[in-house]
Amino acid sequence: MKNFSGNVLFLDRSDINTDEIIPAKYLTENSKEALKPYLLEDLVLKGFDPRKDISGKHVVVTRGNFGCGSSREHAPWAFEVNDINMVIGEGFARIFKQNMFNCGMMAVELSPDTIDHIFKTCGGKATTIETDFGSQCMIIRADGFEEKIVFSISGFDKALVEKGGWVEYADLNY
Amino acid sequence: MGKTTAEKIFDAHTVDRPFGDITVIRLDAVFCHEITTPIAINDLVKRGKDRVFDPDKIKVVIDHVTPAKDSKTAMQGKILRDWARRNHIKDFFDIGRNGVCHALFPEKGFARPGYTIIMGDSHTCTHGAFGAFAAGVGTTDLEVGILKGVCAFHYPKSIKININGRLKKGVYAKDVILSIIGKMGVNGATNKVIEFTGNVVDDMAMEERMTLCNMAVEAGATCGICYPDMTTVSYLWEFIKGDYLSTEAALEDYQQFRADPDALYDNIIGLDVSSLEPQMTYGFKPDQVKPVSEMAGLPVDQVYIGSCTNGRLEDLRIAARVLKGNRISDSVRAIVSPATPKIYNEALQEGIIGIFMDAGFCVTNPTCGACLGMSNGVLADGEVCASTTNRNFNGRMGKGGMVHLMSPATAAASAITGFITNSALFEKIGG
């Protein structure tokens, strides 16, 4: 199972699309590793610089409809090769969310209120998230602040994470 | 309780219900192109599973960058070509026979009512125009589809959009779908199937229905669906005439995939389009939609007519009616990419290509290239494109470029003037 804990990268906008996560011009690469330098290259967000702000981060916290647009699995892969295996948001585009779990990664949905609370209390501060996959909870810590947040993923998504992805699961079952 | 079209299709294809509403369905077709398939192929080879579930159900095309523009895109084509050969996939469309996947595959009769189809391409929802369940997926789903012929989805929930009234002259399927996305938002149909019904849809040709369904994903939908009717049967007849005694018999069979009147929907939306004006986008999201009249006069640098949304013959005819006898402005460059060789050839026979060339358009081969900024019409930083494609994301057609989505008529009119223009100015009466 992959690592779902570590420093948080805040992306404070809804509807971040997969073209912003990894521009189409890099889809000619035939290896996942080659995508590493280009993650979030086209994301224009106040105070965000992809060249400085991605390194050392392992969890993304964002708003709604994350990963909309193109079906490119290059988007989760670009996160994966940058050691980011979990995105937390209000909601996700269907294909992006499925792609995350298909790769054994996690797209975790929390209520808009909880997400807003996280942004308000931790946004702009050095923040870490410690995830306990088994009990489906996480502890978020920032500058003296600490809070336990319970999350829920479906039985299918849980099985995909545990098996390492959909290819492994399907090969075993179909 | 009755069923929606998607529920009927799922119930006829269910292989497993492993968790809750997760439904593993059997696939009738797996479509592949050179951008999202090669990594799946490489992974299958690495796993020692270089095989396909059924070579006749896998349809393959090189369409995103064609001809190859560099060594990397040439390699993507080669991986796909070599794989298709060694796995005996006969429906492989290489350069000269290739076209934009969502225009080419319907033209070949590969999308049928009641089918389940996946592809590593978000605009796979286009094929729902035939009364199929067709969904874009990532490379891992595609890989499992290729190997096992199955895919997992949540059991489908549907939204029905009843489109009624009479479209005004100069208003097209593209304007309808843009206005719908503008109302629903880019997240308005996430995890849902949209059924498009009503007299406007009934009157639409398959090409227009494909334009409608193509952009369902821009509202987040898994698939757009139109009910199969005689228009569907007539379009497919050359491919199905061996299976049915008559078109009526085919229609009767396909009727089984129409939703029941008492089917349960998450939402039913009624829309009268009689007063709808031509629409276009103004921002970096497909739901940022305004009437063309409110954007008129905005200068554009490039006009692009093509793509899986609006690169079909009827789209080119509409643009040609606007362009005939006119030349494009000196301040713009204009590109048209007929979506398939058949469309290109028919446009040539009808004199449409001549009209485009006389107007000053560059006519390119069928390809997706410009739409996603990969080739054949990439924008420079700060440039504006009037485009018949489906996505206006920041950087979509080239870093720093701005894309405005619109109908072929509006794009053609804007090419003539060099700024956003309502096509009513140029559309010939009764043309």
pLDDT tens, position by position, A41-99: 999 999 999 999 999 999 999 999 999 999 999 999 999 999 999 999 999 999 999 99
**B204 part of a folded domain:** yes
The verdict on a CB contact (< 8 Å) between B65 and A155 is no
How confident is the model at residue B130, as a pLDDT?
98
- CB-CB under 8 Å, A166 with B394: no
Number of domains observed in the structure of chain B: 2
pLDDT digits (tens, 9 = 90+) for A128-154: 999 999 999 999 999 989 999 999 999
> Is A147 contained in some domain?
yes
Helices (H), B87-132: 101-107
Q: For residue B419, give the H/E element and its range.
A: none
B431 assigned to some structural domain: no
In a shared domain, residues B400 and B313: yes
Chain A CB contacts of B42 under 8 Å are 30
Q: Which residues in chain A touch residue B186, judged by CB atoms under 8 angstroms apart? A: 15, 65, 68
Q: Which residue of A has its CA nearest to B18?
A: A156
* Distances from the Cα of B84 to the Cα of B27, B42, B74, B129, angstroms: 19, 13, 15, 27
pLDDT in tens, chain B (431 residues): 899 999 999 999 999 999 999 999 999 999 999 999 999 999 999 999 999 999 999 999 999 999 999 999 999 999 999 999 999 999 999 999 999 999 999 999 999 999 999 999 999 999 999 999 999 999 999 999 999 999 999 999 999 999 999 999 999 999 999 999 999 999 999 999 999 999 999 999 999 999 999 999 999 999 999 999 999 999 999 999 999 999 999 999 999 999 999 999 999 999 999 999 999 999 999 999 999 999 999 999 999 999 999 999 999 999 999 999 999 999 999 999 999 999 999 999 999 999 999 999 999 999 999 999 999 999 999 999 999 999 999 999 999 999 999 999 999 999 999 999 999 989 764 44
Please name the member of A69, A154, A167 whose beta carbon is closest to the beta carbon of B140. A167
- Which pair of tokens denotes residue A57? 């981060």
CATH number at residue A144: 3.20.19.10
> Could you give the strand order of the β-sheet that contains B267-272, starting from the edge strand earlier in sequence?
B223-226, B192-197, B157-164, B267-272
- Which candidate from B35, B140, B186 shows the least CB-CB separation from A27? B35
Structural domains of chain A, count: 1
Residues of chain A positioned with their CB less than 8 A from the CB of B72:
28-30
Range of the domain at B413: 281-425
User: ipTM of the predicted structure?
Assistant: 0.97
Count of Cβ atoms closer than 10 Å to residue A49 Cβ:
10
- CA quadruple B81, B86, B89, B95: dihedral, nearest 10: 20
The answer to whether residue A98 sits within a structural domain is yes
Q: Does A156 touch chain B (CB under 8 A)?
A: yes
Helix (H, G, I), strand (E, B) or coil at B193: strand
**Size (chain A), residues:** 174
Q: Judge whether A28 is closer than 8 Å to chain B, CB to CB.
A: yes
Q: Is B108 left (phi over 0), alpha (psi -120 to 50) or beta?
A: alpha
Nearest CA in chain B to A68: B220
Same-domain check for residues B234 and B310: no
- Do the domain assignments include residue B300? yes
Q: A145 at the B interface (CB within 8 A)? A: no
Determine the pLDDT at residue B428. 65
Do both B119 and B248 map to the same domain? yes
Last residue of a domain, one of B240, B271, B302: B271
Q: How far apart are CA B371 and CA B310, in angstroms?
A: 11
Q: Per residue in A108-143, is it b (16+ CB within 10 Å) or e — as a string? A: bbbeeebbeebeeebeeeebbbebebeeeebebbbe
Whether residue A116 lies within 8 A of chain B, CB to CB, comes out as no
Q: List all residues of chain A from 68 to 107 with a beta carbon under 8 Å from chain B.
A: 68-73, 76, 91, 93-95, 98-99, 102-103
Shortest CA gap B381–chain A (Å) = 12
Residues B220, A65: C-beta atoms closer than 8 Å: yes
Residues B198 and B231 in one domain: yes
- Domain-embedded: residue B351: yes
Is B276 among the domain residues? no
Q: What pLDDT is stored for residue A30 in this prediction?
A: 81
How far does chain A reach from its first CA to its final CA, in angstroms?
22
Question: In the structure encoding, which two tokens stand for residue B31, read together?
Answer: 């479509």
B99 within domain boundaries: yes
User: Per the CB < 8 Å rule, is A28 touching B374?
Assistant: yes
Of B243, B271, B299, the domain-final residue: B271
A95: closest chain B residue by CA: B137
Residue A53 resides in a domain: yes
Query: For A65, which of B47, B72, B186 is closest by C-beta distance?
Result: B186
A1 part of a folded domain: no
Between CA B238 and CA B220 the distance in angstroms is 34
Verify whether the Cβ–Cβ distance B395 to A23 is below 8 Å: yes
Residue A84: inside a domain = yes
What pLDDT shows up at residue B431? 41
Chain A hits for B402, CB-CB cut-off 8 Å, are none
Full domain range(s) for residue A37: 6-173
Quick one: pLDDT at residue B430?
43
Q: Which of B271, B297, B317 finishes a domain?
A: B271
CB contact under 8 A, B187 and A91: yes
Q: Which of A63, A70, A81, A161 to mutate to test the interface with B (most CBs of B within 10 A)?
A: A70
Q: How far apart are CA B431 and CA B429, in angstroms?
A: 5
Is residue B116 located within the same domain as residue B262?
Answer: yes
Q: Has residue B430 been placed in a domain? A: no
What whole-number distance in Å separates Cα of residue B268 and Cα of residue A93?
Answer: 22
Contacts of A65 in chain B (CB under 8 A): 186-187, 190, 220
For residues B380 and B243, state if they share a domain: no
What residues contact residue B291 under an 8 Å CB cut-off, 6+ apart?
A: B277, B278, B279, B280
Same domain (yes/no): B265, B340: no
Over the stretch A6-49, which tens digit does the pLDDT of each residue have?
999 999 999 999 999 999 999 999 889 999 999 999 999 999 99
Q: What is the CATH number of the domain that holds B339?
A: 3.30.499.10
Residue A161: inside a domain, yes or no? yes
Residues of chain A positioned with their CB less than 8 A from the CB of B399: 23, 42
Query: Measured between CB atoms, which of A30, A93, A98 is closest to B141?
Result: A98
B25 and B148, same structural domain? yes
Chain A residue numbers touching B15 (CB-CB < 8 A): 174
Round to whole Å and give the CA distance between B173 and A90: 32
Q: Give the pLDDT confidence score for residue B325 in this predicted structure.
A: 96
A73, B138: Cβ pair inside 8 Å?
yes
- List of chain B residues whose C-beta atoms are within 8 Å of the C-beta of residue A27: 35-36, 64, 374
B109 in a domain, yes or no?
yes
* Residues B299, B384 contacting (CB under 8 angstroms): yes
Tell whether A33 lies on the interface with B, counting CB pairs under 8 A: no
The answer to whether residues B373 and B237 belong to one domain is no
Residues B254 and B293 in one domain: no
Spatial CA neighbour of B359 closest among B393, B319, B399: B319
Same domain, B366 and B262: no
Same domain, B236 and B182: yes
Query: Among B141, B147, B159, B281, which would you mutate to test the A interface (most chain A Cβ atoms within 10 Å of its Cβ)?
Result: B141
